[in-house]
Amino acid sequence: MDPEGIAACVAMLEGQDTVRLRGIHAHLASDLDAARLLVLAEAVLTYA
């Protein structure tokens, strides 16, 4: 899910107390070479 999609989900969760966002989960090794994997990992960590 891209950052805009996450923002939309967070907005839907505001004001209710049954579901809470607790972290970020990412699958980073899907057919990526090491250089692209590092770029993607950095982007996820920067966002988180």
Per-residue pLDDT 10s for the chain (48 aa) are 788 888 898 888 888 888 877 888 887 777 778 898 889 889 888 988
What's the total number of domains in the chain? 1
Domain that includes residue 37, residue range: 3-47
**pTM: predicted TM-score of the whole model, two decimal places:** 0.57
- Confidence (pLDDT) at 22: 82
- Confidence (pLDDT) at 8: 92
| Phi, psi dihedrals of residue 8, rounded to the nearest 5° | -65, -40
- Confidence (pLDDT) at 37: 87
Q: How far is CA 9 from CA 1, 2, 34, 38, 46, in A?
A: 10, 11, 31, 26, 19
